Structure 1
């Protein structure tokens, strides 16, 4: 199993890499066909498993963590404990895809804090038995939410990909850090190759540029603001914001709040984040951007950065990137595209036109853990200009980034990150890409968009439903009000109607969670009262699950 990386690489390169970097010594040690080596490997693994990895009845009540490896004679206890844990995990996986199981077993915070049937969140001074630890593992899953359930539609990140899960297990077992090639050689190379492939898909020539995986889209967006400031005012790195004029950022009024948060955190000030007006579909109006840039310049401030959203959180809207790029070029501003939610559509020949002009961006955020179904977390910041990440963030820590190492130190990525320690987010994504191919991601994206079209067609003229905006959604976001029979005869513009309608979605959502049947998000937006925001990114979801959701909304909301 652990030879899969070798089997996909050219044999001569693989041998050279291993002999050069691992000093295997004996000439011809790795000679012979990979298929023969693979057969021998599986044979030895299976034989080993038969002898040593058979699950047996084990009393964990008098066993403790100290009895596991690296304890002397701890191997058998360790194997039995892990086999028991694997049983818990595989049962959970199986039930996740079983539509007869609940999405969640809801309990209020005070109930979980008080303890549930032997499940206690309080920490203890004395070690607890492995039996209790296994109970805690089961109950943690039991009282959580099955985000991979086919009827979980609550967040942008849904689904449970088995290959991605395997990648996450392996990543945790390796337990290494991404800051140097020295301690994460294969993971560092995987990251560089994958980021290059993503830049090629964006449309940057030969995939040139830079990038890094970060702890989520908010941090990726923050990187873009930091890099833009460094590009135009590099002295801020050493002298602080006093070395620059008053800098202003621009973003949609419906963009993710992380742009405003970046402005606050990086010293721009939230008042220097200008919100742009949008049309009825939630897309930035380019004329409003240019008018606000001119207003800022007239005040003597410096317009620095524009964020164009590709797939907004609520409406799923795509800002007109080409028109925004024209304005950014005219006023010499940095253009960032926040494709955290929409990035997956770049994999689809049918839908990537919604990103028209993305190749003109200076930086792009893309979260594979959203639309592409990679397990959390997996977010990339991609930059068109090579070297600027390191220029912005490098601090040359001598104890990590020695220039006289025996390998090419350009592969040490840590100094271009704002973190020191950095989790390995690449392997699960790389492994999924190998398993599915680009075509597999494309099929997944297209299927999710088709399901959202199915939902839209199902409810747009259905009694008791009103769409938040007219027209086919650009993404899988379908926004609507459910109007119970008791409200259907009321004047829709009246204060009483709006107040009552505002309570419908929260009430239905609460009943959904209490019954555990399904989950879908809701929110207000500007002057609009609470409405449902349906999003589809789960590869397990089918048309029958969409039908179930609508039936459940009507069942729970009929008597409100």
Structure 2
């Protein structure tokens, strides 16, 4: 039994409604029908208990009330106190194992005249699941998407990019769990509740598109990339075969070709993948496969001890890749760097000779163009000379610094990159293509990627298709399902052009130079070193430490300053800035300029705010 009380609002005004499920009628699963009275019970072998959903609405008006409950299949609906002006409809749905099927509608005008308008088709059940028609409410879904998109536009695209708004609204984890209502229940939440949840998610998320978010190597909002992401999320493609993803495969091919040109290769190959860490792993495995193709089928058994070399300032993903691939972290040799964080070529060659002397087998050198902390660029030409002498694969991790290739003024930072065998480059960083957008580019054009990674899945990569199967590129990826990440970068590139992307890089580095000069002018600020790229590393020295000698006690106390200021700025929500220790240096700030929304005023604010938050320490 169930009772529904509600209000019906329409052009005729407001009236109280009530409905009771009483007596005994019957609904048959195989056919739609109704008994004539409580005592006239129709018989069926398929009677049982079902969930039901009741929708009460004005005739030809959108539903105003929904109620879910449980009732036996056989029932009779009686109604009283219905609105006398205009008909009402009671739409009954079967819900069997959450599968929804419209049985028909009761048309309620005069309560003495009830009629049943049956569906044309009988209900088809298989294992208790209704198979007739779609099981989703398309209109409700479309309405939710429309309202959610409006919320995104207002709260993320407009409000979150406003410099007068907070970068973040900090909450401790346990409190945030309660504020978000993370519990997933047996029944779905109503639309208004879902929209409120969306609003809360936006409210308590860090606004990485805010002009004063400087915390990571990505920031800002590119409108064209965002629109591209909306499209790909709605289309939900997977990029592996031309038949299911024709547009996005061609887009990826075009983008990879252009990136290869900027590296300086006449031809090459590549693949977009989820992150620079994955690109580095791809490259490490490719280098090993090139050295020993049998490893793909025979595995590590019988191989000599393989050794790789990388900068002491390299990304931590090199160790992870060595571990994941079974090479082992003890077989990663870290080459010493100079005072600016660049690999020392002479030290590299010494280590290679030493490894050979010990009976191990060098196979890979990984150089870095744009280190994570200092933004250093390894001397690629000298490293390439060494690799050629020793027959080693040269991989360049340009995940961060690769975007400098777009600038005629700054591409000199990567001089010699054309001599690399593979390059990792992340357009989602400096070029703001949106996370994730990362490419591994390979000089080899002999299908090395495909030879290394292919599994020839017969249900995807049939060779007797009616089109050119060379466009089915998915077999050169370690993934099966793969996002169309190249499309975001392509859309931005189409919108801005190469010159627009070049200007984006030039402006970011110009703002970085402005900040460096301001740091030099201001009391209480000290550069760690002159930057080579967009990474500005500096200390803030509060007044209480400015007259102290730079001995052990000074550095011990200074080590506490950056974390304390970071806590204050996050709780205030005024800006976000990263800090870290690094190779014996106590905690310092690392500021990175990326977004074109950032202005000179934001650089001034950053220094003013740090001084404001830390002057009493």
Higher RCO, 1 vs 2 (CA within 8 Å, ≥6 residues apart) = 1
CA shift at 1:71, angstroms? 4.8
| 1:229-285 CA-partner distances (Å, limit 9, x unpaired) | 011111111111224211111111111001111111101100000011111110001
CA shift at 1:461, angstroms? 3.9
The partner residue of 1:480 within 520, 538, 541 is 538
Q: Which residue of 2 aligns with 1:8?
A: none
CA distance in 1, matches of 2:272, 2:187: 39
C-alpha distance 62-537 of structure 1, shift in aligned 2 (>3 A): farther
Does the 8 Å CA contact 1:61/1:130 hold for their aligned counterparts? no
C-alpha distance 72-336 of structure 1, shift in aligned 2 (>3 A): closer
Q: Which residue of 2 aligns with 1:132?
A: 193
2:455 is the counterpart of 1:395: yes
CA distance in 1, matches of 2:544, 2:579: 20
C-alpha distance 238-369 of structure 1, shift in aligned 2 (>3 A): same
For this pair of structures, how many residues does the alignment match? 496
Does the 8 Å CA contact 1:61/1:131 hold for their aligned counterparts? no
| 1:472-512 CA-partner distances (Å, limit 9, x unpaired) | x111000001000101111212x221111111000000000
Structure with the larger helix share: 1
Please say which of residues 524-533 and 92-101 is displaced more in the overlay: 92-101
The partner residue of 1:149 within 210, 216, 221 is 210
Please say which of residues 89-98 and 545-554 is displaced more in the overlay: 89-98
CA shift at 1:60, angstroms? 9.3
Q: Which residue of 1 aligns with 2:421?
A: 362
CA distance in 1, matches of 2:63, 2:195: 12
Q: Which residue of 2 aligns with 1:497?
A: 554
Q: What are the residue-to-residue correspondences of 1:68-87 with 2, within 5 Å?
A: 71=134, 74-87=137-150
CA distance in 1, matches of 2:100, 2:533: 52
Does the 8 Å CA contact 1:153/1:534 hold for their aligned counterparts? yes
Q: Which residue of 1 aligns with 2:610?
A: 553
The partner residue of 1:447 within 484, 487, 507 is 507
Unaligned runs of 5+ in 1: 1-55
- When normalised by structure 2's length, the TM-score is 0.78
CA shift at 1:426, angstroms? 1.6
| Corresponding residue SS for 1:291 | helix
2:407 is the counterpart of 1:348: yes
Does the 8 Å CA contact 2:217/2:430 hold for their aligned counterparts? yes
C-alpha distance 485-195 of structure 1, shift in aligned 2 (>3 A): same
Q: Which residue of 2 aligns with 1:51?
A: none
Does the 8 Å CA contact 2:99/2:135 hold for their aligned counterparts? no
2:235 is the counterpart of 1:174: yes
Does the 8 Å CA contact 1:522/1:531 hold for their aligned counterparts? yes
Q: What are the residue-to-residue correspondences of 1:370-389 with 2, within 5 Å?
A: 370-386=429-445, 387-389=447-449
CA distance in 1, matches of 2:142, 2:361: 62
RMSD of aligned Cα (Å): 1.9
Greater gyration radius: 2
2:365 is the counterpart of 1:306: yes
CA distance in 2, matches of 1:309, 1:440: 26
| 1:193-251 CA-partner distances (Å, limit 9, x unpaired) | 1101100110001xx11100000000001000010001111111111122421111111
C-alpha distance 72-258 of structure 1, shift in aligned 2 (>3 A): closer
C-alpha distance 57-276 of structure 1, shift in aligned 2 (>3 A): farther
CA distance in 1, matches of 2:532, 2:314: 15
Unaligned runs of 5+ in 2: 1-60, 69-94, 102-132
Over 2 Å off, 4+ runs: 56-68, 70-80
| 1:381-401 CA-partner distances (Å, limit 9, x unpaired) | 000002100011011111111
Does the 8 Å CA contact 1:252/1:309 hold for their aligned counterparts? yes
C-alpha distance 238-131 of structure 1, shift in aligned 2 (>3 A): same
2:360 is the counterpart of 1:297: no
| Corresponding residue SS for 2:488 | helix
2:498 is the counterpart of 1:438: yes
Q: Which residue of 1 aligns with 2:282?
A: 223
| 1:504-558 CA-partner distances (Å, limit 9, x unpaired) | 0000000000000000000000110000000111121001001111000000010
CA shift at 1:77, angstroms? 2.5
The partner residue of 2:385 within 320, 326, 350 is 326
CA distance in 1, matches of 2:65, 2:222: 31
Q: Which residue of 2 aligns with 1:513?
A: 570
CA distance in 2, matches of 1:333, 1:61: 68
C-alpha distance 319-62 of structure 1, shift in aligned 2 (>3 A): farther
Q: What are the residue-to-residue correspondences of 1:179-198 with 2, within 5 Å?
A: 179-198=240-259
CA distance in 2, matches of 1:60, 1:376: 41
CA distance in 1, matches of 2:495, 2:570: 35
CA shift at 1:125, angstroms? 2.0
Q: Which residue of 2 aligns with 1:11?
A: none
CA distance in 1, matches of 2:301, 2:258: 39
| Corresponding residue SS for 1:199 | helix
Q: Which residue of 2 aligns with 1:204?
A: 265
CA distance in 2, matches of 1:109, 1:61: 35
Does the 8 Å CA contact 1:61/1:129 hold for their aligned counterparts? no
| Corresponding residue SS for 2:396 | strand
CA distance in 2, matches of 1:67, 1:425: 36
Does the 8 Å CA contact 1:513/1:519 hold for their aligned counterparts? yes
C-alpha distance 485-362 of structure 1, shift in aligned 2 (>3 A): same
| Corresponding residue SS for 2:318 | helix
CA shift at 1:58, angstroms? 9.1
Q: What are the residue-to-residue correspondences of 1:30-49 with 2, within 5 Å?
A: none
Q: Which residue of 1 aligns with 2:588?
A: 531
| Corresponding residue SS for 2:339 | coil
